[in-house]
Structure 1
Amino acid sequence: MIPEPTDVVVIGAGQAGLSAAYHLQRRGFDFAVLDAEDGPGGAWRHRWKSLRMATVNGISDLPGIPKPDVDPTEPSSQFLTRYFGGYEAALGLAVHRPVKVRAVRREDEDPAGRLRVETSDGVWSARALINATGTWSRPFWPIYPGRSSFRGRQLHVADYVSAAEFTGKHVIVVGGGISAVGLLDEISRVTSTSWFTRREPAWRDAPFDARAGHDAVALVEDRVRRGLPPQSVVSATGLIWTPALRAARERGVLDRQPMFTSIEPDGVRRADGSFLKADVILWATGFRAELEHLAPLHLRGPGGGIAMEGTQVAAEPRVHLVGYGPSSSTIGANRAGRAAVAAIAALPGMAPAAETVTWG
């Protein structure tokens, strides 16, 4: 198959991918955006309907075009799918979808050569690549003793729909992040729950200030610079006591238990040896970066991660990861898109056409 040539391929059309596309367009690059989803919205298309704009973490404007007025009661999946779709239309981005990227390879041994992007809908040949595939498609399921023996239902937050389906069942929620405590609050309103984590989350009485946010991002940046798997920014900033979570604490919902030692057919064996009967185990255990298609490039190092210099893969400067590690927040994704395009423009022989201004 003859590859379709372009300057840059962007994989993923979520917040990070759209930000990168905006800056590529402004600088006059020829580029293609490939997205595995059936329509706009990225991972937000799959968020549970009860996650409304009033309770979702702050969503930054995409570059150049601010969000429309927000109805706090509207599901975030609905609002952000509409916003992202309108953004694509306003910029005239002809996103190729649904397209699944199967593999990215070097076309030859020339470090300034081209990259071959093999997909479910043809092949592209690019001078540089911006990977913005996020994490939603790779939920992390811990390996736990007895997990396969459990006769009840097990699901990951990626599969969660609503609390109503658990009415009358005892639900165990595993995890110490925002999704875990938010879903504990929601599910506990219709049925009984228990909360298990490896360690007590760090709680904050007020939103973190700029210094705390900067320090948290710096910790994650240090890990990826050293080639270690990234941790979430939230793991460094801690969880904020919102009014809803304070109320949940008063109801006893946030009485955290240390992680159980094993799973049995009808429940779990607690750390103190006692048995807890359960009907459902909800794993709120996070996600991993979707990077399998980059495996032919052999980017991972001995530490298990990919050594980074900003958004650039240290060992392969033609490849940028945005929405990865320190840029996994919506603010970070916007900044990473801009930084990746600036770095690509600085590569030898990558000077684009005269810069064009489309928005903002």
Structure 2
Amino acid sequence: MTTSSEPVVIVGGGQSGLSAARAALSAGLRPVVLEAGVEPVGSWPGYYESLTLFSPARYSSLPGMTFDGGDPDRYPIRDEVVAYLRRYSASIDAEIRTGARVTAVHPRPGGGYLVHTDSGDDIAAAGVVAASGSFSNPYLPALPGRDTYEGEVRHVAHYRRPEPYTGKRVLVVGAGNSAVQVAYELAPHARVTLATRAPIQFMPQRIRGRDLHHWLRVTGADLLPRAVLTRLVRHAAVLDTGVYRDAITSGRLARREMLTAFTADGVIWADGTHEAVDAVIFATGYRPNLDYLAPLGALDAGMPRHVAGVSTTHRGLVYLGLEFQRSFSSNTLRGVGRDAAHVVAALAGGVSGRSRRRPQPIKRLLVRR
């Protein structure tokens, strides 16, 4: 049986894990956050250097701490987000262990879980929050000939800056925000083509002088459930002030139908023509990073079996930071706090013999290595 001394283990110390820790404290649970990296800021330090949020600072906060430091209508850059998460983690009175990568979670016969880390630690847990997200698990589509291609192939997760591509012929594969932003940044340095399966769809970033996220908030569209969203949103849409659309329509940034195969020195396009290229950058999304749950049998082809973040296979197991988990904003700074409150409430009601403590203010950070 689980005992009153057992914590709730939160796997991942990024925006999802920190939101879960705060919600767990408010619910009177004892969270222990296990973060694989050197500090509890998630994957943000590893993103490309010019990354800029598509939501203004006023709409990019986690629960309990505003995204301050300047104009609330500015679009924060990557390093601002990292600094914000550092401040946020330092405000939480929870145990956060860095350099602690979870390798497996096993069920215990009497209830609860045994969480294993790569340092050899075994932690008995009343419940588990799988908040490891997906950004450490980039997806590369399997295309014929990729193994024989002699140029550079990488995911946008490993792209940092444009200068190394100066003078090269580069393809960027994808039709989402990251693909277009990176291609646009590369264009002054290299010959760039966007490879997409369909024409790029644009969404205005500002409507009637207000940022789109203002309208998402006031209309309630940010809270539309997954079942509605999947009917309304058929294709990725790029938020744009007009500069990206203009770059494509003017020909300054080329776009072609998706490539079908690689050759030793380039690619085969959908029309059958061959083109030599030096590098291909895939901005093709991510998949949940949940292999450590395989011993539980909680996954289906690597994907979690859940409803709105609550496991349908195991009591005391919840998820956080999944794309469209409950709404359009589920895996974003502005939306993950709502999901954290939801899944932690389910977790608190689902673990037996859990450690309860009187809810208290969120104060400080304890880091254990």
TM-score class, shorter: 0.7 to 0.9
Do the aligned residues in 2 keep the contact of 1:172 with 1:196 (CA within 8 Å)?
Answer: yes
**Aligned with 2:356 (options 349, 352, 358):** 352
Q: What are the within-5 Å matches in structure 2 for residues 113-152 of structure 1?
A: 113-121=111-119, 122-152=121-151
**Aligned with 1:311 (options 291, 297, 309):** 309
Match of 1:157 in 2: 156
Instruction: Give the TM-score of the pair, scaled to structure 2.
Output: 0.84
Measured in 2, the distance between the counterparts of 1:120 and 1:304 equals 20
Do the aligned residues in 2 keep the contact of 1:212 with 1:237 (CA within 8 Å)?
Answer: no
Deviation of residue 254 (structure 1)? 4.7
Deviation of residue 237 (structure 1)? 6.0
Q: What are the within-5 Å matches in structure 2 for residues 189-200 of structure 1?
A: 189-200=188-199
Deviation of residue 245 (structure 1)? 1.2
Match of 1:47 in 2: 47
SS at match of 2:304: coil
Structure ranking higher on relative contact order (CA contacts 8 Å, 6+ apart): 2
Measured in 2, the distance between the counterparts of 1:243 and 1:293 equals 43
Q: What are the within-5 Å matches in structure 2 for residues 174-253 of structure 1?
A: 174-206=173-205, 207=212, 209=216, 210=219, 212-215=221-224, 217-219=226-228, 238-253=237-252
Measured in 1, the distance between the counterparts of 2:351 and 2:146 equals 52
Q: What are the within-5 Å matches in structure 2 for residues 279-294 of structure 1?
A: 279-294=278-293
Match of 1:226 in 2: none
Backbone CA RMSD of aligned residues? 2.8
Change (3 A) 1:8 1:221: farther
SS at match of 2:200: coil
Measured in 2, the distance between the counterparts of 1:170 and 1:306 equals 39
Measured in 2, the distance between the counterparts of 1:351 and 1:4 equals 4
Measured in 2, the distance between the counterparts of 1:74 and 1:300 equals 36
Change (3 A) 1:235 1:181: farther
Measured in 1, the distance between the counterparts of 2:177 and 2:233 equals 8
Do the aligned residues in 2 keep the contact of 1:56 with 1:76 (CA within 8 Å)?
Answer: no
Aligned-pair identity in percent equals 29
Do the aligned residues in 2 keep the contact of 1:323 with 1:332 (CA within 8 Å)?
Answer: no
Change (3 A) 1:145 1:57: farther
Deviation of residue 214 (structure 1)? 4.2
Deviation of residue 333 (structure 1)? 1.3
Measured in 2, the distance between the counterparts of 1:300 and 1:19 equals 23
Match of 1:230 in 2: none
SS at match of 1:10: strand
Change (3 A) 1:314 1:200: same
Do the aligned residues in 2 keep the contact of 1:194 with 1:253 (CA within 8 Å)?
Answer: no
Do the aligned residues in 2 keep the contact of 1:44 with 1:76 (CA within 8 Å)?
Answer: no
Measured in 2, the distance between the counterparts of 1:174 and 1:19 equals 32
SS at match of 1:84: helix
Deviations 1:249-296 (A, max 9, x none): 244245431112211111111111211121111111111110000000
Change (3 A) 1:24 1:274: same
SS at match of 1:265: coil
Match of 2:346 in 1: 343
Do the aligned residues in 1 keep the contact of 2:112 with 2:126 (CA within 8 Å)?
Answer: yes
Is residue 66 from structure 1 mapped to residue 69 from structure 2 by the alignment?
no
Change (3 A) 1:184 1:235: farther
SS at match of 1:317: coil
Deviation of residue 201 (structure 1)? 3.4
